[in-house]
Amino acid sequence: MIDFYYWGIQCPYNFSNMKVLKTIEEKYDIKVNYIEMSKNQDIVKELKIYSPTFTILDNKLRWTGPISESLIERYLNGETLQRTPYLVSSENERVEGELKLFIPKLSSDIKKLCCSRVCQDSSAQKGMWLNELMSDYDLKHMGVLHYVDDECVGGVEYVPTFAVPYDIPKSSNSAFLTCVYASDPIYDYKSYPLEKLEKELKSDGYKKIYAIASKDVAFPNGPLEWFINQGFTDLGSVYYEENDGADQHLVEKDL
C-alpha cells in the first residue's frame, strides 16, 4: 500500500508524483491513497509531516520529495531504499541580482530549481495553485524570486500561516516560508530575496514569520544555521526525518 500526502501543488513535484503513482496503479495491483494535507490536518499532525510532498510505503518507509516509477519498482522488488543526506554550508558568498515579486505567471521561471521531470506541466499546475491561494487569501504576491542574467537562481515563497497544513503556530498576522531556495555550495542566492520579502510582509501588516529548517541538510530549507544568521530564533526540533538525515526545527522571526 502507498499513501501519498500532498499539499495542493505547493511543490511542483506533487503533480508529477501523482502521474507516477497513477502509472504504478495501472501496472501493479497496488493500492494508492491520495491524501490532500489541507483537508486532513489531524493526520498530518499525528504523522509529523513537514514536507509538501510525502510518500509512505507500507506504513513504514517515509519518502519526501520526488519519486519515480523505477524507485517504486525497486521497492516492490525488495530493495532497501536509502538516501544520502545532502549537506549544505551556511557561509556562502552573497549574490544580489534582480528581484521580482512571485506571481502565478512567473511559475515557469522556477522550473530548473523546483522540478526536473515533466516540469512544464508541473510548473503550470503550480501557477494555478498560486492563483487560487492568492484569491482565497487576497494576496498580492507569493514571495520574491531572484534572477541573475535573466535566469531565476533563487527565491523565497510564503503563505499566511492559516493556509499551512503543518502543526505550527497560526495567527492572522503571521506568515510561513514554504520554500527558501536554492542552496548552493558556493553562492548565497537566498538572503537578498528574503530581505525584500520581509519588507513586503511587514508593509502588509505581518508581525512574524515562521519556517521549518533542518540542522545540516538542504531538506527542508536548510541549513538551520543559515536561518540563525538571518536573525531567526530556533524554537527547537519538531521531528527527525531519518531517511533524509533531517533534524527539522521550527524557527521564527519578528518583523
Q: What is the pLDDT of residues 41-98, one digit of tens each?
A: 999 999 999 999 999 999 999 999 899 999 999 999 999 998 887 777 767 899 999 9
Residue 217 DSSP code: B
Determine the pLDDT at residue 116: 58
Determine the pLDDT at residue 222: 77
Determine the pLDDT at residue 237: 97
Determine the pLDDT at residue 123: 82
The CATH 3.40.30.10 domain(s) of the chain lie at 2-76
Nearest to 213 by CA among 228, 195, 191: 228
Computed over every residue of the chain, the mean pLDDT equals 93
Determine the pLDDT at residue 209: 98
Determine the pLDDT at residue 185: 82
For residues 102-119, average pLDDT: 80
Distances (CA, A) of 101 to 107, 146, 199, 238: 11, 9, 12, 30
CATH number 3.40.630.30 is the correct assignment for the domain at 93-254: yes
The CATH 3.40.630.30 domain(s) of the chain lie at 93-254
- The CATH topology of domain 2-76 is Glutaredoxin (3.40.30)
Contact indicator for 146, 99 with CB cutoff of 8 Å:
yes
For the record, the C-alpha cell of 73 comes out as 519498482
Contact indicator for 181, 113 with CB cutoff of 8 Å:
yes
Would you place residue 120 in the very low, low, confident or very high pLDDT band (cuts 50, 70, 90)?
low
Burial of 155 (0-12, 13-18, 19+ CB in 10 A): buried
Which pTM does this prediction carry?
0.94
For residues 12-20, average pLDDT: 91
